[in-house]
Amino acid sequence: MPGPITIFVDADACPVKEEIYRVAGRYGLKVFVVANAFINTPRDAMIERVIVPAGPDVADDWIAERAAAGSIVVTQDVPLADRCVKAGAEVIGNTGRAFTTASIGMALATRNLMDDLRSAGQTTRGPKPFSPRDRSDFLQALDGAVQKLKRDGFG
């Protein structure tokens, strides 16, 4: 029988933490807020702050080792999203973009191309500023992911 739904947040530079807390509270879901530095979180037994040691990919590794079917991962990190999708987790970007088995290959290819261009000295634009529409899209995507997992028997 499927287990509880758990949300993992790649918390460094995550602009939608308050929205995650609100949705998790509505459904009674456990949230792990993972970062390599202190991040303020609400005083709530269902929200756990996880501070990992500094270092490349330490927070990503912590999340990826725990992501599985029945979990939701919130991240903009495409390699982390890839690892979590392969583990069976639902993965959502900060703007509501769902990373799926169908979309992750293109996301990785685009990320790698942009990395190659930057390392070759090309100037590339960063992401567009986070907007109220992005926040709304994220809320819809997170609620949709919770509903999907509930339909699949997770609780």
Query: Exposure of 106 by Cβ count < 10 A (0-12 exposed, 13-18 middle, 19+ buried)?
Result: exposed
Separation of alpha carbons 116 and 65, rounded Å: 28
Mean of pLDDT values over 141-145: 97
If one looks up domain 6-151 in CATH, what number appears?
Answer: 3.40.50
pLDDT digits (tens, 9 = 90+) for 67-85: 999 999 999 999 999 999 9
pLDDT digits (tens, 9 = 90+) for 94-130: 999 999 988 876 767 666 666 766 778 777 676 678 8
pLDDT digits (tens, 9 = 90+) for 37-72: 999 999 999 999 999 999 989 999 999 999 999 999
- Give the residue, 115 or 152, on which the prediction is more confident: 152
Separation of alpha carbons 34 and 12, rounded Å: 8
Per-residue confidence (pLDDT) for residue 13, from 0 to 100: 85
Task: Tell me which residue of 47, 19, 53, 33 sits closest to 140, measured CA to CA.
Answer: 19
Separation of alpha carbons 88 and 73, rounded Å: 10
